[in-house]
Amino acid sequence: MAHKTVDVLLVEDSAADIDLVREAMEGGKLLINLNVVRDGEEAMDYLRRQGKFKNALRPDLILLDLNLPKKDGREVLREVKADTELSLIPVVILTTSSADEDILHSYQLHANAYIAKPVDFESFIKIVNQLTDFWLSLVVLPKK
Amino acid sequence: MIDQIPAPNFEKIFETAMGLQLILLPDSPRFTIVAVSEPYLKAVQKNRDQMLGKSLLEVFPKTKDADELIISLNQAIKTQMPATFSLQILFAKQPGTEAPEFKADFWNLTNTPVLDGSGQILNLVHRIELADPQALALVEAKELLEARVNKRTQDLLRSNTELEQFAYIASHDLQTPLRHISSYVQLLTNKIRKTNTLDDKSEKWIKYILSGTVQMKNLISDLLSYSRIGRVDIKVEEINTVEMISRIKDELKDSIHKTKATIFFDQLPMVFGIKSQIEQLFLNLIDNAIKFRATGVDPIVTIKVEDLEAFWRFSVSDNGIGVDSKYFERIFLMFHRLHSQDEYLGTGIGLAICKKIVEFHDGKISVNSDGNSGTVFSFSLPKKETVTAKNSSQAEI
């Protein structure tokens, strides 16, 4: 059964990049509730519903940048996929780098998908829409 | 008249004029010392009483050379011929003595059997001589050279790694603000367009801004590719050239279709090298061949190969606009372009990357053209046998 709104957790430290994701999601088909955390430690607190995130909603999808302050994206990915509960949430790496090592390493840590952010914004809009359509509308996710 | 010639004092001669020597009994494995020359005493810092009657092994430094010494002495006994071997000996100068200082040098030890009339061995003469100084100098020079080469190699490896790290970080950190500039210009443009205040000039200027960001993005990617070519830890393997060209044709299928290009190739041999680099090499050359086509002429790209014993010589030729001979060398330089960005898109690194790849594989690349009706790029790549032979001979050194 499809949810009316979907919850997406964006882990991203740059305000400019956060706004780009918001703009790209605007006008999309789905009603997305976008929650943002600015570093790896906050990401884990949010997912574990600790500290100031006691009432956080479990996200349907995590968009994760690799280069984050404090705990970096690779650490977050490792911890999420090592946790029996959290590993069920699809994690899409959304990052600047298109380096082979980063791509390989991410998949080795069991990222569900890897996307290198394009320089062209029109392309980015397409990517974000395809991404959310795929993971939040097309595929079937395990029940929360 | 022999009676009148005074007999030489052989004992004195032995003790003083014959260099570092010992006379031993052939009582293996003890080898009792029965005579010692002065120079030998000086060298080992002992006096005669400390040596006469003792076993040679008591005097000789207790290293693995001692085993070789025994072998040599026994060999001299067995073959009744002199036996020689070399080793490094350090004779140290004792503080406050007159003894000469000996460096750690190569010495030749010769054990010569002295026989009586009936073929029995009376004694062994154990002589120590400095090895040929020229041979010595050669060995030292070789060791010094090898040490220098090793250090140079380490420096280069480190420098290459640093360059790659630098390029990765630089490109990564450059791409983020670049993305922001490009994306927000587009967002702003969309916003302003809605107010219908964008005239033609503004639209053109916006295009310039955005193509500037695309150009930067391509430059950064190319620089990153270029910096990666120096890596030494990448797998070297046999590459199916024909399969690779098919993949390249697939990658370029849009531009091939648009320009109605045809790519011909001979039966191409397997090559030995780094797969991703060789593919980049052919890709760049074929892409160039299509890109620099003459107006109104469908591009034809021909790939041929020549067998040069230790190398394969490939040529990629086209029927495009050609290259003026005065630019034959310059076009392989980084960022050197012969045409403006408006005429032909590109960063100017493509051929520099090709050159670096070919040279990294120990080959050579060159270009030929009449400046008018087409261009031929030729480059050599070593055969597998050549590479593996070189690697194994290097391993021996």
| Of residues A27, A24, A37, A49, the one with CA closest to residue A144 | A49
Q: Residue A98: what pLDDT?
A: 85
CA angle B364, B347, B349 (to 5 degrees): 20
Model-level ipTM above the cut of 0.90: no
pTM: 0.61
What average pLDDT does the segment A110-138 reach? 93
The minimum CA-CA distance between A91 and chain B, rounded to whole Å, is 21
Query: For a pLDDT cut of 70, what percent of chain A falls above it?
Result: 97
Q: Is residue B102 predicted with pLDDT exceeding 60?
A: no
What average pLDDT does the segment B262-284 reach? 92
What average pLDDT does the segment B326-352 reach? 81
The minimum CA-CA distance between A21 and chain B, rounded to whole Å, is 11
What average pLDDT does the segment A60-87 reach? 94
| Of residues B335, B147, B156, the one with CA closest to residue B231 | B156
Do you know the residue count of chain A? 144
Contact status, residue A16 vs residue A42, Cβ threshold 8 Å: no
What is the DSSP code (8-state) at residue B387? H
Q: Is residue B244 predicted with pLDDT exceeding 90?
A: yes
> What is the residue whose two structure tokens read 């949810």?
A3
Q: Check CB contact under 8 Å for A99 and B168.
A: yes
Q: Is residue B97 predicted with pLDDT exceeding 70?
A: no
Contact status, residue B14 vs residue B35, Cβ threshold 8 Å: yes
Q: What is the largest CA-CA distance in chain B?
A: 134
Question: Which residues of chain B have a CB within 8 Å of the CB of A117?
Answer: 179
Q: What are phi and psi of B64, to 5 degrees?
A: -70, -15
Mutate to test the interface with B, among A13, A119, A126 (most CBs of B within 10 A): A119
Strands A5-11 and A31-37: parallel
Q: Is residue B2 predicted with pLDDT exceeding 50?
A: yes
Max mean pLDDT range (B2-6, B43-47, B89-93, B376-380) = B376-380
